A = this chain, B = another copy of it.
Amino acid sequence: MKKVWRVNIREKSFEIEKVPEQWDRLGGRALLSCILVDEVDAHCNPLGYKNKLIFAPGLLVGYNLSSCDRISIGGKSPLTGGVKESNAGGRTGLQLVRLGIKALIIEDKPSDESWTVLHISKEGVRFDPGEELIGLGVYESSTKLIEIYGDKVAIALIGPAGEMQLSAAGIQNLDKDKAPSRIAARGGLGAVMGSKGIKAIIIDGSLGEKPEVVDEQGLKAARKAYTKALLGHPQTKVYKDYGTAALTMMVDTFGALPTRNFSSGSFEGAENLSGEKMRENLLDRGGDCDPSHPCMVGCAIQSSNIYVTLDGGTTVSPLEYETIGLMGSNLGIDDMDLIAKLNFEVNDLGMDSIEVGAALGVSADAGYLDFGDGERVLELLAEIRAGSPLGRILGNGAATAGKVLGVERVPVAKGQAFSAYDPRAIKGTGITYATSPQGADHTCGLTIRANIDHRDPKGQKEISLDKQLAMAGFDSLGACIFAGFGYGADENVIPSLLNAIYGWNEEVGVLKKMGQESITFERKFNKMAGFTKADDRLPEWVTKEQLPPFNSVFDVPDTDLDSVFEWEDR
């Protein structure tokens, strides 16, 4: 039976607890949202002693399913002031499950300035000193940690940004090949980890076991059906070949590619940032380059990549569309090698490239950067590393940068930066940005694949809800968004998997049921934290400033925004 592991970082103590009944059927995002509702004072200071940092593997993690080993990390967000779940691939989820951990809850904060490396294994929790790693980037820190703890462990760690408790700091996780490349990026959870004086968490599942399965034969059959559906889906092949960069040209065509701080939806240099261009670079260069790289063991999608710059000086894995959008076109940069270098720096700082890219775009409008000047971007990233006033402004994200630097065109909802889809041209995703309890986030419900006129405000809320429910469900399962290709192709797969593993009696529709459960917890937490309808809005400028080339504004009526979650009493 899986257990809850509870660590008190002030007392340097831990307890292993039975899972309370109300958490038993929950996993990942839904579980940690429920824990937040049950245990965390929603009014608390996110960087204070009352907040908790929670790691919860999804319900399907650890059962040898392609693309289903994601870890959900959460707490009250220092960026949004509300609920926060951010998930990542890599090893962390898998090794926690090997140790039988349903949720790791880290409480309180140290009474002094000390730093800890938390070591979690079959023997329990150890509190190793972390001071020697302080100030080191994510890459160097992880190399040193692997030297100490071996290359079989999972590691979740923060960089200098998390140490400085900057709101754009995330938590990096080792991928299957030891690269600290899988970041739970959004919402400032790296700052929460920093506030608790934890530089890294080592999870050594080597003495652990495979998790129990109620019906092994049933699981085998369900797994087979799932893999078949996944491999048979045409999109699987697209992502294998082109990665998420396949989106660049598609989004540019829709007129939704963030360009020069969201002042346009189309970028003249888009082709240089396309999936085709990336594949060409990766195939041409050979060597360590890998256009189709899995982040988790046994992944059939392999949407990730290892990108090496032409000079061989920088290797970054993965180079993703969101980074290309926010740190490329959004900054007027059309050079993929340059974006890779920027991405490396942001990774090494341990930050969300979406949030940092958006903040940099805002800073350009304030006169701190000429669009297209990559060298200046590197200087600004160095300011973040140095913790200068300007660096701290940028490192706290786009909303803070806009407020401090006096810029109106700030692309945020609930204080969190838009992903690389302008909501004026993909209005369903704009509804997701506005209404998701998580703040603006494409992973909470991207509508771009819906067969609809994306600039028509009508009919978008239903699509946004559909995607929001599916994503909240996937995030509770520990499933990558791309696993949806397999689930979508065979609607019996999810209930079959859950029923075989846990002995439940779930039916078709369980994904959305779980999604609704999760969003309900999340909205409850936000409400307790003081969120209202006023928080389910996009900023004023998107409703009045027309977006070239189609000159659209965000004109979804407030009544639609207020009625997305149709099951709620209003």
Hey, which chain B residues are within 8 Å of A389, CB to CB?
388-390, 393, 404-405
Chain A 346-379, CB-CB to B under 8 Å as 1, else 0, gives: 0000000000000000000000000000000000
Q: Taking the complex as formed, is A43 at the interface, i.e. its CB lies under 8 A from any CB of chain B?
A: yes
Q: Taking the complex as formed, is A104 at the interface, i.e. its CB lies under 8 A from any CB of chain B?
A: no
Q: Are B540 and A50 in contact (CB under 8 A)?
A: yes
Within 8 A of B (CB), among A520-540: 528-535, 537, 539-540
Count of chain copies: 2
Within 8 A of B (CB), among A530-552: 530-535, 537, 539-541, 544
Hey, which chain B residues are within 8 Å of A50, CB to CB?
540
Q: Taking the complex as formed, is A165 at the interface, i.e. its CB lies under 8 A from any CB of chain B?
A: yes
Give Cα A393 to B394, complex, Å.
12
Q: Taking the complex as formed, is A15 at the interface, i.e. its CB lies under 8 A from any CB of chain B?
A: no
Q: Are A165 and B537 in contact (CB under 8 A)?
A: no
Give Cα A403 to B406, complex, Å.
16
Q: Taking the complex as formed, is A266 at the interface, i.e. its CB lies under 8 A from any CB of chain B?
A: no
Chain A 34-54, CB-CB to B under 8 Å as 1, else 0, gives: 000000001111011110000
Give Cα A517 to B539, complex, Å.
31
Hey, which chain B residues are within 8 Å of A49, CB to CB?
544
Point out the residue from B45, B400, B532, B533 that lies within 8 Å of A540, measured CB to CB.
B45
Point out the residue from B531, B534, B539 that lies within 8 Å of A45, measured CB to CB.
B539
Hey, which chain B residues are within 8 Å of A166, CB to CB?
406
Q: Taking the complex as formed, is A19 at the interface, i.e. its CB lies under 8 A from any CB of chain B?
A: no
Hey, which chain B residues are within 8 Å of A532, CB to CB?
530-532
Chain A 337-353, CB-CB to B under 8 Å as 1, else 0, gives: 00000000000000000
Q: Are B534 and A43 in contact (CB under 8 A)?
A: yes
A interface bracket (residues with beta carbon within 8 Å of B): 35 or more
A530-B540 contact, Cβ under 8 Å, with A388-B389, A392-B404, A408-B47: no
Point out the residue from B45, B533, B535 that lies within 8 Å of A408, measured CB to CB.
B45
Hey, which chain B residues are within 8 Å of A44, CB to CB?
540
Q: Taking the complex as formed, is A323 at the interface, i.e. its CB lies under 8 A from any CB of chain B?
A: no
Cβ of A340 to closest chain B Cβ, rounded Å = 28
Hey, which chain B residues are within 8 Å of A529, CB to CB?
534
Cβ of A43 to closest chain B Cβ, rounded Å = 6
Q: Are B42 and A406 in contact (CB under 8 A)?
A: no
Within 8 A of B (CB), among A4-50: 42-45, 47-50
**Which of A406, A529, A533 has most chain B Cβ within 10 Å?**
A406
Point out the residue from B42, B408, B530 that lies within 8 Å of A48, measured CB to CB.
B408
Cβ of A537 to closest chain B Cβ, rounded Å = 6
A404-B408 contact, Cβ under 8 Å, with A388-B389, A530-B533: no
Give Cα A374 to B530, complex, Å.
39
Give Cα A276 to B164, complex, Å.
45
Chain A 89-100, CB-CB to B under 8 Å as 1, else 0, gives: 000000000000
A530-B541 contact, Cβ under 8 Å, with A389-B390, A392-B405, A403-B400: no
Q: Taking the complex as formed, is A66 at the interface, i.e. its CB lies under 8 A from any CB of chain B?
A: no
Give Cα A140 to B393, complex, Å.
32
Give Cα A44 to B530, complex, Å.
18
Q: Which residue of B lies closest to A383 (CB)?
A: B389
A45-B541 contact, Cβ under 8 Å, with A165-B406, A529-B534, A530-B532: yes
Q: Taking the complex as formed, is A396 at the interface, i.e. its CB lies under 8 A from any CB of chain B?
A: yes
Known contacts A48-B540, A389-B390, A392-B393; can you find 16 more A-B pairs with CB under 8 A?
A43-B540, A45-B408, A47-B408, A48-B408, A166-B406, A167-B403, A388-B389, A389-B389, A389-B404, A392-B405, A396-B404, A400-B403, A404-B404, A529-B534, A531-B532, A532-B532
Can you pick out 11 interface pairs between chain A and chain B where the beta carbons lie within 8 Å of each other?
A43-B537, A43-B540, A48-B540, A49-B544, A50-B540, A165-B406, A389-B389, A389-B390, A389-B393, A528-B534, A531-B532
Q: Which A residues form the contact surface with B (CB < 8 A)?
A: 42-45, 47-50, 164-167, 388-390, 392-393, 396, 400, 403-406, 408, 528-535, 537, 539-541, 544
Please list the 10 inter-chain residue pairs (A to B) with the smallest Cβ-Cβ separation, ordered nearest first.
A530-B534, A389-B390, A389-B389, A530-B532, A45-B540, A392-B404, A165-B406, A48-B540, A43-B534, A396-B404
